[in-house]
Structure 1
Protein backbone atom coordinates (compact mmCIF):
# COMPACT_ATOMS: atom_id res chain seq x y z
CA UNK A 1 0.00 0.00 0.00
CA UNK A 2 1.40 3.41 -1.04
CA UNK A 3 0.98 6.27 1.39
CA UNK A 4 -0.94 9.26 0.05
CA UNK A 5 1.21 12.32 -0.40
CA UNK A 6 0.19 15.95 -0.50
CA UNK A 7 -0.32 17.56 -2.91
CA UNK A 8 -1.64 14.91 -5.24
CA UNK A 9 -1.36 17.33 -8.18
CA UNK A 10 2.42 17.02 -7.76
CA UNK A 11 2.92 13.50 -6.48
CA UNK A 12 0.18 11.97 -8.60
CA UNK A 13 2.01 12.50 -11.90
CA UNK A 14 5.06 10.98 -13.52
CA UNK A 15 7.63 8.83 -11.79
CA UNK A 16 9.68 9.27 -8.67
CA UNK A 17 12.82 11.32 -9.49
CA UNK A 18 16.25 10.83 -7.96
CA UNK A 19 15.93 11.79 -4.28
CA UNK A 20 18.84 14.23 -4.60
CA UNK A 21 16.82 16.39 -7.00
CA UNK A 22 13.75 16.32 -4.81
CA UNK A 23 15.83 17.29 -1.77
CA UNK A 24 17.52 20.10 -3.71
CA UNK A 25 14.08 21.37 -4.71
CA UNK A 26 13.03 21.28 -1.05
CA UNK A 27 16.15 23.25 -0.05
CA UNK A 28 15.24 25.89 -2.64
CA UNK A 29 11.74 26.07 -1.14
CA UNK A 30 13.24 26.59 2.31
CA UNK A 31 15.59 29.29 0.96
CA UNK A 32 12.55 31.18 -0.36
CA UNK A 33 10.92 30.83 3.07
CA UNK A 34 14.05 32.21 4.78
CA UNK A 35 14.00 35.10 2.32
CA UNK A 36 10.36 35.79 3.21
CA UNK A 37 11.20 35.85 6.91
CA UNK A 38 14.09 38.25 6.29
CA UNK A 39 11.92 40.59 4.21
CA UNK A 40 9.18 40.59 6.85
CA UNK A 41 11.66 41.13 9.67
CA UNK A 42 13.37 43.93 7.76
CA UNK A 43 10.08 45.69 7.07
CA UNK A 44 8.94 45.43 10.68
CA UNK A 45 12.34 46.46 12.06
CA UNK A 46 12.61 49.44 9.75
CA UNK A 47 9.29 50.82 10.97
CA UNK A 48 9.64 49.76 14.61
CA UNK A 49 13.14 51.20 15.11
CA UNK A 50 12.45 54.46 13.32
CA UNK A 51 16.15 55.25 12.91
CA UNK A 52 15.49 58.98 12.50
CA UNK A 53 14.50 58.58 8.87
CA UNK A 54 11.87 60.64 7.06
CA UNK A 55 8.68 58.95 8.37
CA UNK A 56 6.66 58.70 5.15
CA UNK A 57 9.52 57.20 3.15
CA UNK A 58 10.38 54.85 6.01
CA UNK A 59 6.78 53.65 6.17
CA UNK A 60 6.65 53.20 2.38
CA UNK A 61 9.88 51.16 2.42
CA UNK A 62 8.56 49.06 5.31
CA UNK A 63 5.32 48.34 3.47
CA UNK A 64 7.17 47.38 0.29
CA UNK A 65 9.38 44.95 2.24
CA UNK A 66 6.42 43.46 4.09
CA UNK A 67 4.44 43.06 0.85
CA UNK A 68 7.44 41.32 -0.75
CA UNK A 69 7.73 39.14 2.35
CA UNK A 70 4.09 38.12 1.98
CA UNK A 71 4.48 37.35 -1.74
CA UNK A 72 7.66 35.30 -1.32
CA UNK A 73 6.04 32.20 0.27
CA UNK A 74 3.62 32.15 -2.67
CA UNK A 75 6.65 31.93 -4.97
CA UNK A 76 8.13 29.27 -2.70
CA UNK A 77 5.08 27.03 -2.81
CA UNK A 78 4.24 27.33 -6.49
CA UNK A 79 7.90 27.21 -7.50
CA UNK A 80 8.43 24.04 -5.47
CA UNK A 81 5.31 22.39 -6.95
CA UNK A 82 6.18 23.33 -10.53
CA UNK A 83 9.78 22.17 -10.19
CA UNK A 84 8.78 18.89 -8.53
CA UNK A 85 6.18 18.22 -11.21
CA UNK A 86 8.77 18.98 -13.93
CA UNK A 87 11.25 16.60 -12.28
CA UNK A 88 8.63 13.85 -12.13
CA UNK A 89 7.70 14.34 -15.79
CA UNK A 90 11.26 14.78 -17.10
CA UNK A 91 10.54 18.30 -18.33
CA UNK A 92 12.75 21.41 -18.15
CA UNK A 93 12.62 23.24 -14.84
CA UNK A 94 10.43 26.36 -14.82
CA UNK A 95 11.68 29.82 -13.90
CA UNK A 96 10.61 31.61 -10.73
CA UNK A 97 7.76 33.87 -11.83
CA UNK A 98 7.81 36.19 -8.83
CA UNK A 99 11.60 36.48 -8.59
CA UNK A 100 11.73 39.66 -10.69
CA UNK A 101 8.87 41.45 -8.89
CA UNK A 102 10.33 40.54 -5.50
CA UNK A 103 13.76 41.74 -6.62
CA UNK A 104 12.25 45.00 -7.87
CA UNK A 105 10.48 45.44 -4.53
CA UNK A 106 13.80 45.12 -2.70
CA UNK A 107 15.39 47.69 -5.02
CA UNK A 108 12.45 50.07 -4.51
CA UNK A 109 12.63 49.63 -0.71
CA UNK A 110 16.38 50.28 -0.81
CA UNK A 111 15.87 53.42 -2.89
CA UNK A 112 13.20 54.65 -0.47
CA UNK A 113 15.50 54.09 2.50
CA UNK A 114 18.36 55.86 0.71
CA UNK A 115 16.09 58.79 -0.05
CA UNK A 116 14.84 58.81 3.55
CA UNK A 117 18.44 58.96 4.80
CA UNK A 118 19.30 61.82 2.47
CA UNK A 119 16.19 63.81 3.43
CA UNK A 120 16.50 63.17 7.18
Structure 2
Protein backbone atom coordinates (compact mmCIF):
# COMPACT_ATOMS: atom_id res chain seq x y z
CA UNK A 1 0.00 0.00 0.00
CA UNK A 2 2.97 2.25 0.56
CA UNK A 3 3.64 2.10 -3.20
CA UNK A 4 0.18 3.63 -3.68
CA UNK A 5 0.93 6.37 -1.17
CA UNK A 6 -1.46 4.90 1.40
CA UNK A 7 -0.25 5.08 4.98
CA UNK A 8 -1.56 3.21 8.01
CA UNK A 9 -3.61 5.54 10.17
CA UNK A 10 -6.99 7.12 10.68
CA UNK A 11 -7.36 7.87 6.93
CA UNK A 12 -6.25 4.45 5.62
CA UNK A 13 -9.73 3.25 4.68
CA UNK A 14 -10.65 6.50 2.92
CA UNK A 15 -7.35 6.55 1.00
CA UNK A 16 -7.72 2.90 0.01
CA UNK A 17 -11.29 3.42 -1.22
CA UNK A 18 -10.14 6.42 -3.24
CA UNK A 19 -7.37 4.34 -4.83
CA UNK A 20 -9.89 1.57 -5.62
CA UNK A 21 -12.12 4.03 -7.50
CA UNK A 22 -15.21 5.18 -5.60
CA UNK A 23 -18.52 4.52 -7.33
CA UNK A 24 -21.73 6.46 -7.07
CA UNK A 25 -24.13 4.02 -5.37
CA UNK A 26 -26.53 4.34 -8.29
CA UNK A 27 -23.79 2.86 -10.52
CA UNK A 28 -23.20 -0.14 -8.23
CA UNK A 29 -25.79 -2.50 -9.81
CA UNK A 30 -24.33 -2.09 -13.30
CA UNK A 31 -20.76 -2.37 -12.01
CA UNK A 32 -21.57 -5.59 -10.13
CA UNK A 33 -23.43 -7.09 -13.11
CA UNK A 34 -20.59 -6.16 -15.49
CA UNK A 35 -17.96 -7.62 -13.15
CA UNK A 36 -19.98 -10.85 -12.75
CA UNK A 37 -20.30 -11.21 -16.53
CA UNK A 38 -16.55 -10.67 -17.02
CA UNK A 39 -15.49 -13.00 -14.20
CA UNK A 40 -18.06 -15.74 -14.80
CA UNK A 41 -15.99 -17.70 -17.38
CA UNK A 42 -13.07 -17.91 -14.93
CA UNK A 43 -15.28 -19.11 -12.09
CA UNK A 44 -16.99 -21.67 -14.32
CA UNK A 45 -13.60 -22.95 -15.50
CA UNK A 46 -12.37 -23.26 -11.93
CA UNK A 47 -15.54 -24.94 -10.63
CA UNK A 48 -16.75 -26.88 -13.65
CA UNK A 49 -20.26 -25.49 -13.17
CA UNK A 50 -22.45 -25.33 -16.25
CA UNK A 51 -25.62 -24.47 -14.36
CA UNK A 52 -27.63 -21.60 -15.80
CA UNK A 53 -28.67 -18.75 -13.56
CA UNK A 54 -30.54 -15.49 -13.93
CA UNK A 55 -29.41 -12.49 -11.90
CA UNK A 56 -31.83 -9.79 -10.86
CA UNK A 57 -30.44 -6.74 -9.07
CA UNK A 58 -32.90 -4.54 -7.23
CA UNK A 59 -32.25 -1.36 -5.30
CA UNK A 60 -34.06 -0.16 -2.23
CA UNK A 61 -33.90 2.85 0.00
CA UNK A 62 -35.24 1.70 3.33
CA UNK A 63 -34.41 2.61 6.87
CA UNK A 64 -33.11 -0.77 7.99
CA UNK A 65 -29.94 -2.41 9.22
CA UNK A 66 -29.11 -4.26 6.02
CA UNK A 67 -26.92 -3.07 3.16
CA UNK A 68 -27.45 -5.99 0.78
CA UNK A 69 -29.39 -9.20 0.59
CA UNK A 70 -28.89 -12.17 -1.71
CA UNK A 71 -31.67 -14.68 -2.10
CA UNK A 72 -33.64 -16.41 -4.79
CA UNK A 73 -34.98 -19.77 -5.76
CA UNK A 74 -33.44 -22.35 -8.03
CA UNK A 75 -31.60 -20.71 -10.87
CA UNK A 76 -33.07 -17.29 -10.09
CA UNK A 77 -30.66 -15.22 -8.01
CA UNK A 78 -31.82 -11.90 -6.57
CA UNK A 79 -29.48 -9.30 -5.16
CA UNK A 80 -31.00 -6.38 -3.28
CA UNK A 81 -28.91 -3.32 -2.48
CA UNK A 82 -30.08 -0.86 0.19
CA UNK A 83 -28.52 2.27 -1.30
CA UNK A 84 -28.31 4.42 1.86
CA UNK A 85 -26.25 1.70 3.57
CA UNK A 86 -23.73 0.82 0.85
CA UNK A 87 -20.53 2.24 -0.53
CA UNK A 88 -18.77 0.62 -3.46
CA UNK A 89 -15.52 1.00 -5.32
CA UNK A 90 -14.61 -0.50 -8.68
CA UNK A 91 -12.53 -3.10 -6.86
CA UNK A 92 -15.28 -3.71 -4.31
CA UNK A 93 -17.83 -4.35 -7.08
CA UNK A 94 -15.55 -7.06 -8.48
CA UNK A 95 -15.09 -8.64 -5.05
CA UNK A 96 -18.84 -8.50 -4.48
CA UNK A 97 -19.55 -10.10 -7.86
CA UNK A 98 -17.11 -12.91 -7.10
CA UNK A 99 -18.28 -13.61 -3.57
CA UNK A 100 -22.02 -12.96 -3.61
CA UNK A 101 -23.10 -13.51 -7.22
CA UNK A 102 -20.62 -16.10 -8.49
CA UNK A 103 -19.93 -17.64 -5.09
CA UNK A 104 -23.28 -17.97 -3.37
CA UNK A 105 -25.60 -17.37 -6.35
CA UNK A 106 -23.92 -19.68 -8.86
CA UNK A 107 -23.36 -22.28 -6.16
CA UNK A 108 -27.07 -22.29 -5.34
CA UNK A 109 -27.99 -22.57 -9.02
CA UNK A 110 -25.46 -25.40 -9.41
CA UNK A 111 -26.94 -27.32 -6.50
CA UNK A 112 -30.42 -26.86 -7.97
CA UNK A 113 -29.24 -28.17 -11.34
CA UNK A 114 -28.10 -31.47 -9.86
CA UNK A 115 -30.43 -34.41 -10.49
CA UNK A 116 -32.09 -35.83 -7.40
CA UNK A 117 -30.26 -38.76 -5.85
CA UNK A 118 -31.38 -42.17 -7.03
CA UNK A 119 -32.81 -44.44 -4.43
CA UNK A 120 -32.28 -48.13 -4.57
CA UNK A 121 -35.27 -50.48 -4.77
CA UNK A 122 -36.71 -51.17 -1.37
CA UNK A 123 -35.00 -48.15 0.20
CA UNK A 124 -36.97 -46.33 2.85
CA UNK A 125 -37.16 -42.61 2.38
TM bucket (normalised to shorter chain) is 0.3 to 0.5
Select the structure that is richer in helix: 1
Q: Say which structure, 1 or 2, has more relative contact order (CA 8 Å, 6+ apart).
A: 1
Select the structure that is richer in strand: 2
